[in-house]
Structure 1
Amino acid sequence: MSEQIQVKNVSPVKVHQPPGGSNKKRPSARSQIYVRAVKGPIETFRRLFGFIFVGIFALIPWIQYDGHQAILLDIMNQRFTIFGLTLWPQDLTLLAYIFIVGAFALFFVTTFAGRVWCGFMCPQTTWVYMYVWFEEKIEGPRNKRIKLDERPLDFDKFWRKSLKHIAWLSVAMLTALTFVGYFTPIGALFIDFFTFNASFWAVFSILFFAGCTYGNAGWMREIMCTHMCPYARFQSAMFDKDTFTVSYDYNRGEKRGPRPRKLKHEELADKALGDCIDCNLCVQVCPTGIDIRNGLQYECINCGACVDACNGVMEKMNYPKGLISFTSEERLTGGHTNIVRPKLIGYFVVLLVMIGLLMADILTRSPLEVDLIRDRNSLFRENGRGNVENVYTIKILNKSQDTHTYTIEVKGLASYNILADTTVTVGGGEVFSMPLSLETSPKNLSEAVTDIYFHVRTEDAEGNVVEVDEPTKFLYR
């Protein structure tokens, strides 16, 4: 209790605010951010990665497998088809494993490399950059866009703004059509939509998701990342001093300020200057409008745009690159980054365990499932032949993609008769439902309740036997 707690003096830092819009007299909760284009290896990789991501998103619904859409999440029929795998509501544990694996993969990557998901893979970021690309091609670079918004409405401004929003809406409609195509056959969806034959819910879904895409990527943009996305709020729980994040080297950059290009790097100490020339390019290229020089902020999505912008300036000034870089807090303070550490190992081990459980669940998953429902109107009845009857409804779920013929038998009764077809054929990924009556002589029943099993059996194309015993009860007296 005698030890004194050291108090760290934290000096207030001037936080950058994005420039105001055209109406600067009226306060606004959000000033428009005019993102400046940047070139560099990180930006090239991000664009290539985004192009591949969008291509995969657009092509997957069109892939065919065994004569049907390879990935079809049919919510109306409660059936998810993923190539040769059909998932039903009974496969909830399998879906849970998939989400858990995705979550721990995200935790592992975030602990190692920060919010690279947000900067390189998040659909919001990808579509925002896509919209900004249209904006730049139609309205011009950042400075021209600012001047265009400050101008009164004329013909040039009208057609540029109109063309931009037409492009945005076109991308939003194609995005919505593709997205809805994951939940309904996409070929028929496109034909029905453009021939005005689509159903109400299909049209509603397309217009709803198109509106969301247009609003999120065109208007809300960074608000989705800074105010609506929960990941931005809890990401810091996964960070540590060894996490690679986009960071500004304060010790090297300060004191910042302009200087002539002819001033050599070796002469900066004599002028009491750091490497930062205070050009503000790192702010202008940031999609969330923050100043990375103020330190790590929850708005930063680790896209690396400021890294490319700063490295370009350093190259022109003949200064060493890396004033802003993907680095760790430990390295900035002169230490060594520990890549292999307990927290990262823990996430990796849990991720491997969950992947193992997911694979085990898939490999041990039976392609056949049987459900039995007893008739609720009568427990039993005696028919004209003097036998006791119980009525059931049997449901056979064929989880494979092939058509199979199933035989139905009963175990637990010495002799019995099934008053229904005992051989049924069920198509791939379909559910067969049939009422049936099971009768037996009272001499075969020694108790009021007899435990029995409905035995359903089939063989696949390779000759492997697939069978299920579904327990139920036969009632008498």
Structure 2
Amino acid sequence: MDQQKIDIKNIPVHVEVHKPAGQGAQYNPRDRIYVRAVKGLHQAIRRYMGFVFMGLFMLLPWLRYDGHQAILLDITEQKFNIFSLTLWPQDFTILAWIFIIAAYALFFITAFYGRVWCGYLCPQSVWTFIFIWFEEKIQGTRNQRMKLDADPWSATKFVKKAATHFCWLAFSLLTSLIFVGYFTPVGPLFIEFFTLQAGFWALVSVLFFTLCTYGNAGWMREIMCTHICPYARFQSAMFDKDTFTVTYDETRGENRGPRSRKDKDYQEKGLGDCIDCNLCVQVCPTGIDIRNGLQYECINCGACIDACDDTMTKMGYPTGLISYTTEHSLNGKPTKVLRSKLLGYLFVLIAVCGAFAWTLYSRVPFEMNIIRDRGAMYRETNEGWVENTYTISISNKSQQAVMFNLSVDGGESLSWIGPQQVNLNGGETLNVPVSLALDPDITESRSLDIRFTVRQAENPDVKLEQSTTFFVGR
């Protein structure tokens, strides 16, 4: 057999690493972003929504309900009190439904209006804007903050920086105390923390979340959104050409260029409506240029929209150069709001909300478990009757004391030995020992199928049943 040789040629490979132009050895992969303050409709909405939900976050732990903290997620006692509802580890499905509802609500909103959760309600964004507000009040405007950082250290600079970080830490500590107050009684927590009497885990938790808040909102900021948060990475999978996102109208805005307000012939010079003022970049909390197109870093906060609309108004141009719009709308095509993807998310969201509501409605506020005597299957009494011993374990999952009635149904003449009515306080578990006796002469079976029933005395329709076996023996 003839063998053919394949010529092998060595191809030199040269890999060249390109660095950002003009940076050289001083290139910093993360330059600080100085966010410019902006006013407008979208920022007013964001602030008002932030005030409402921040107020709820701060006030909810202090609410009282029926003599106890209204919302207390007590991990040590393994129970979550939410007003009149108490959830136990056995109620994990309810918590699972809550997380599923939150996920599909986020998917639905994202498919409809983009990443607005990140821009308006995400705690990372809300706390970051609060920290930026402290910077503005203490260090001044964007240009003043940039000049302050560029100036050499002085007494004035030290005081402003120290005051800023003190306010950051103080607000972080307040945030941490409130957050930990959801998991331990909030009133005693504040008193014990400031009197240095807090327990080890409470102290560690407060300090840990204080440092996390201070680091995330004070230092990391947009890094959390662009590099750490997974939502930024998979959000594009929920976008389509009918999703409303913050978008720059390139057809109207290009070519960019400065001009005076009196220049009415700018279009004849080949210029678009964008005057290249860069305000849309200066107000962006993640430091992107929205004119470069849709980017995963954009959190849809609408700051660039308000800044651009303000500029367009001053120039006498129509607003909306940057706006919440769809790709189809920009291309002159109609936007389909009711589309299959959005309706699919909505259908699943309604379905899981219905399942959650049914789970709550059908939830029985107590549990029972029948445990047979492990020492003997049965025993004979002095009267010749057969006796089986059981333990009925009852857990009251409500917050109020409840009276329970106990009964058994076996289709035969069973004699009950033990209490048939017990009272349990809220959250209490009680093991009730009972015995059942039967005259063996009235049946020929070696065993009987019986069913224990535990029902609320005040509401007999609320009941639980569990089957077991009564051994007769021969």
- Give the structure-2-normalised TM-score: 0.89
Alignment correspondent of 2:68? 68
Alignment correspondent of 1:409? 407
* Number of residue pairs aligned between Structure 1 and Structure 2: 451
C-alpha distance 376-217 of structure 1, shift in aligned 2 (>3 A): farther
Deviation by residue 1:156-206 (Cα, 9 ceiling, x = unmatched): 111111111111111111111111111122122222222222221111111
* Counterpart-to-counterpart distance in 1, 2:257 and 2:446: 93
Name the aligned partner's letter for residue 463 of structure 2. Answer: E
Please point out which of 309, 313, 316 is paired with 1:315: 313
Structure 1 stretch displaced more, 447-456 or 363-372: 447-456
Contact 1:418–1:436 (Cα < 8 Å) also in 2 = no
Name the aligned partner's letter for residue 250 of structure 1. Answer: E
Q: Over alpha carbons, which structure has the higher Rg?
A: 2
Please point out which of 441, 444, 464 is paired with 1:468: 464
- Give the structure-1-normalised TM-score: 0.88
Structure 1 stretch displaced more, 442-451 or 187-196: 442-451
Alignment correspondent of 2:291? 293
Contact 2:388–2:437 (Cα < 8 Å) also in 1 = no
Please point out which of 335, 338, 347 is paired with 1:337: 335
CA displacement at 1:377 relative to structure 2: 5.7
* Counterpart-to-counterpart distance in 2, 1:50 and 1:269: 41
Structure 1 stretch displaced more, 400-409 or 226-235: 400-409
Please point out which of 417, 437, 442 is paired with 1:440: 437
Contact 1:386–1:441 (Cα < 8 Å) also in 2 = no
SS in 1 for 2:422: strand
Name the aligned partner's letter for residue 402 of structure 1. Answer: Q
> Equivalent residues in 2 for 1:313-392 (5 A)?
313-376=311-374, 390-392=388-390
Contact 1:61–1:70 (Cα < 8 Å) also in 2 = yes
* Counterpart-to-counterpart distance in 1, 2:115 and 2:436: 65
Deviation by residue 1:137-158 (Cα, 9 ceiling, x = unmatched): 1111111111211222221111
C-alpha distance 339-437 of structure 1, shift in aligned 2 (>3 A): same
> Equivalent residues in 2 for 1:114-125 (5 A)?
114-125=114-125
Runs (5+) with no aligned partner, structure 1: 1-16
Name the aligned partner's letter for residue 119 of structure 1. Answer: G
Name the aligned partner's letter for residue 71 of structure 1. Answer: I
C-alpha distance 408-165 of structure 1, shift in aligned 2 (>3 A): same
Name the aligned partner's letter for residue 415 of structure 2. Answer: Y
CA displacement at 1:34 relative to structure 2: 0.9
Runs (5+) with no aligned partner, structure 2: 1-19
Contact 1:113–1:245 (Cα < 8 Å) also in 2 = yes
SS in 2 for 1:269: helix
Alignment correspondent of 1:418? 417
Deviation by residue 1:397-441 (Cα, 9 ceiling, x = unmatched): 22333211112223326323434x43221123x132225242425
Structure 1 stretch displaced more, 399-408 or 203-212: 399-408
Name the aligned partner's letter for residue 286 of structure 2. Answer: T
Q: Percent identity?
A: 55
Name the aligned partner's letter for residue 469 of structure 2. Answer: K
CA displacement at 1:239 relative to structure 2: 0.7
Deviation by residue 1:271-300 (Cα, 9 ceiling, x = unmatched): 111111111111111001111000000000
Deviation by residue 1:42-63 (Cα, 9 ceiling, x = unmatched): 1111111111110011111112
Name the aligned partner's letter for residue 467 of structure 1. Answer: K
* Counterpart-to-counterpart distance in 2, 1:145 and 1:378: 81
* Counterpart-to-counterpart distance in 2, 1:220 and 1:382: 75
> Equivalent residues in 2 for 1:17-166 (5 A)?
26-166=26-166
Name the aligned partner's letter for residue 432 of structure 1. Answer: T
* Counterpart-to-counterpart distance in 1, 2:149 and 2:267: 42
Please give the root-mean-square deviation of Cα atoms over the aligned residues, in Å.
Answer: 2.3
Name the aligned partner's letter for residue 313 of structure 1. Answer: T
C-alpha distance 191-450 of structure 1, shift in aligned 2 (>3 A): farther
Contact 1:112–1:243 (Cα < 8 Å) also in 2 = yes
